Chain A
Amino acid sequence: MGRQAARMNVNGKSYARVVDARLTLADFLRHEINLTGTHVGCEHGVCGACTVLVNGRTARSCLMFAVQANGCEVTTVEGLTPEGKLSVLQQAFIDNHGLQCGFCTPGMLVTLTELLRDTPDPSEQEVREALTGNLCRCTGYAGIVAAALDAARRLRDADKPETA
């Protein structure tokens, strides 16, 4: 059945492919354009491992078809990683032991990117609630929460004007 155009910007680069209508956005990212950082954990929209940003908002890429992302800006974990180094959030994950096997981690990073953008000074409870859409089976969440709060603090400090 239908093969159709999927045209989107992913991490600032434009892609155009002809794909099966039923190809999920997650599979498009992973296998059509070889961005394997986005992971697939359940394919029914609960685990959050596949979370990406679509037009700046988090979305479960296993619940979207690639053809639905026509004309959209998609950001994956690769797009959150600055060239040759790591972001403040990623560094905070390292410093706070926010990952173990790393499978849920890209989804966590995307979700927290949205949270910290919209809520630069979240409480621990707000962080935990924001993370309920992302399951982790390794860390027990403590390191992830600590990383989020640490990153929030560092980002806020970076925004502060220098004191004379």
Chain B
Amino acid sequence: MGAKQFGARVTRLEDPTLLAGRGRFVDDVKLPGLLHACFVRSPHGHAKVVSIDSKIALIMPGVHAVITAIDLPDPMRTQRLPLLLPNPALAATKTQHALARDEVCYVGQAIAVVIADTRYIAEDAAAAMIVQYDVLPAVSDYRGAAEDTAPHVHGDLSSNVASSFRLAYGDTDAAFADAAHVFAEALWQHRGGGMAMETRAVLASHDPASDLLTVWSGTQTPHLGRQALADLLDRDLQSIRMIAPDVGGGFGPKAIFYPEEAVIAAAALKMARPVKWVEDRREHFLCATQERDQYWEMSIAVDEDARILGVRGRMLHDTGAFVPWGIVMPYIASTTVPGPYVVPAYQLDTSVVFTNKVPTTPVRGAGRPQAVFAMERLLDRVARELNIDRAEIRRRNLIQPEQMPYEVGLLFRDGKPLVYDSGDYPRVQEQALTLADYDSFRERQRVALDEGRFIGIGVANYVEGTGLGPFEGVTVRVLASGKVAVATGATNQGQGTRTTLSQIVAEQIGCRLDDIVMTIGDTGAIAQGVGAFASRQAVNAGSSALLAGQSVRKQLIALAARTLGIPEDDVELDDGQAVSSRGNKPSIGFGDLARLAQGIPGVSLPAGQAAGLEHTAYYTPSQAAYCSGTHVVEVQVDAMTGGVKILRYTVAHDAGRVINPLIVDGQVQGGVAHGIGNALLEWMQYDANAQPLTTSFADYMLPMATDVPTCAIAHVEIVNPLNPLGVKGAGEGGTIPAPAAIISAIEDALSPFSVHFAETPLTPERIVAAMRAAGAYERLFAA
């Protein structure tokens, strides 16, 4: 039926297969003759590789080969991995080699790979490798990395500064000089990672008959990966097929092209047998990219009415040992600070430094949580100093809906001026506050205090540029069987890509959801693709699905009209049939139409008819789509232990039109869980020699079911005027303002003690230390 699919709470098409345990993740793919790989990795943060001795490894039964850098094919042997996002502000464009040659720059960097009958044997052999290193001083703390006295992260780079840039508009000097009040904050968010439940995995297989190299990878970006392989192996694009099958979570780190993808592909070619590598969790802690280490020193200038006059400061960003994604993350962070507020003058100096740690690249939020943390903590500071309610100070400074589209004054990372296309920030904030019973909170707090409990509330706002380009294509093709084949370069790591795109196509062409056969994340199915990151797929692939669906709809109607001999206006598409709305309602099935559209061999098609019933659309956004939201969090703090419990979590957000509220709510809820982890639990720690200290789930804490409450979520659908669907991205909004709101709530809970926090994760120990320094325990222990 021409059922309204768009906006419907459709249960997911992906679910039955996954629930039955019949998902197909990379490690589930079995090929005959399969060999297994284990990488040999640097145990040092920085060292010269003097020699690699694989003699003992090679004679172990079941070991087939040991591949080092010199064994790799050209140009991979000497050429570095691609720099995906070049930027003139990048002083040093250092990316990795597939296998380190003479120098290793972070613990875990791969120098060789063992190929064996089983992973077990490969690990035995890897342990038997004798590698001589010349250990060099390592840079661990990025705050000292820019000093002249700091060791060199790379032997051939005399400066550890990868990039320095300034973003600014307006006159901050004047703003600060004239301000009624100026406040300063130093803020710090520590390193952490995406930590998907499935680790990375690569399976490569070369078919000599067709010379096709097929690579299955747990990646968010198979088309980008294929291009990288084509470059590194000097092969035609057509001779490589990269497939992202079921992928167990992405969150950013799987969008990167990794050395292991290159090496395993090369190994399959070299061994003339399929080779599989499944990352173990320890490797994931060492080598999967991370995020967040940023140190901010910020000031805010306000007038007597607490209206922002200017914001300025400095940010130091740890990029790790390499820059595979350029400086996109500090750049995003730097443009996110103004957020939904009127900030007449702004200046941020960013310094990106190398350290001897695994590189940092976008992880859910992509630098925005840090920026929002800075801005929201500054506003909280003003509120506290001037004794204004924190929601009120935000209300006073929010951009008003009649100011849309709002030009911020900066260039965003999409290459376009930062212009908020649509939004109603005051309305979204109000919705969140109402849903959270904000107005009655002070009373709740007073009652709790009388009972000896410390509860607090925090508010935070964000704006996020989503739906980034350049494009994401969708092909819709009606098959002779009556089924509808849909292919897309979009990928799926849990966001329900198949369901949302099916909803859009089904609504357009009037087929059944179940009749859609979708191919996702396969470079063999669609010529061009980009992949999943920056909350971009609903906007881009969704819009392409709409455009392709609209075109196929027109073709179906035209062909049906011609075939049935009726006017096009009389044709309705429903349930896989083209039906006339008049008379005895003649109809013809989509399958029959598809067969007709194939034509008859040797016979010309009727005038006006195109070949087949298909269309490929590559929607290209003109700029980012700006979504926004407000989080309100209520916490209870155990003042004696520093333990924090989140009592209540409320979200109101504008993600434009909602394709499937079930899925969007799931993205928000899932994003909030990451935010809670960032705020309270997750911290990748290293020692002074850049040795990772947290390399298991026992040490790196992820939120459990007892740590994440079910959120109350309100959607405010403000249509995006810039794309045909009217949607905005929704994948990261749950994370972005969470640390700010949570830390604000903790501070509020402990306001009787006047403690202040500007660091995440905010651990119980830090809370207790602040309380002790404030003299709180003299009072509390006596009670």
Contacts and interface: CB of A to CB of B under 8 A. Distances in A.
Interface of A: 20, 22-23, 30, 34-44, 46-47, 49, 76-78, 81, 86, 90, 93-95, 97, 99-106, 109, 127-129, 131-132, 134-146
A103 B198 contact: yes
Nearest to A146: B710
A145 B710 contact: yes
Contacts of A131: 704-706
A44 B695 CA distance: 11
B11 A103 contact: no
A115 to B, nearest CB: 12
Contact of B705 (A44, A95, A132, A138): A132
In the A-B complex, the 7 residue pairs with the closest CB atoms: A37-B21, A103-B248, A102-B18, A101-B494, A100-B494, A140-B673, A77-B21
B251 to A, nearest CB: 7
Contacts of A34: 30
Given A23-B120, A41-B248, A131-B706, 18 more contacts: A22-B120, A36-B28, A37-B20, A37-B21, A46-B698, A97-B11, A97-B663, A99-B15, A100-B670, A132-B705, A135-B704, A136-B197, A137-B195, A138-B197, A139-B673, A140-B673, A141-B673, A141-B705
A46 B701 CA distance: 10
Contacts of A132: 704-706
A97 B665 contact: yes
Contacts of A104: 197, 248
Interface in B1-39: 11-12, 14-16, 18-23, 25, 27-28, 30
A93 to B, nearest CB: 6
Interface residues of B, number: 55
Contacts of A100: 249, 494-496, 666, 670
A47 B697 contact: yes
Given A44-B696, A86-B16, A97-B663, A38 B21 contact: yes
Contacts of B196: 101, 103, 137
A42 B696 contact: yes
Nearest to A80: B21
B662 interface: yes
Interface in B207-258: 246-249, 251
Please report whether the interface of chain B is mostly helix, strand, loop or mixed according to DSSP.
loop
A22 B197 CA distance: 24
A86 B662 contact: no
A77 to B, nearest CB: 4
Interface in B485-526: 492-496
Nearest to A48: B197
A101 B198 contact: yes
Contact of A105 (B18, B696, B704, B708): B18
Contact of B15 (A41, A43, A77, A93): A93
Given A78-B21, A95-B11, A140 B708 contact: yes
B280 A43 contact: yes
B105 interface: no
A137 B249 contact: yes
Contacts of A81: 19-21
Contacts of B666: 97, 100, 138-140, 143
A89 B125 CA distance: 44
A141 B163 CA distance: 40
A35 to B, nearest CB: 7
Contacts of A129: 705-706
A141 B705 CA distance: 6
Contact of B706 (A39, A93, A128): A128
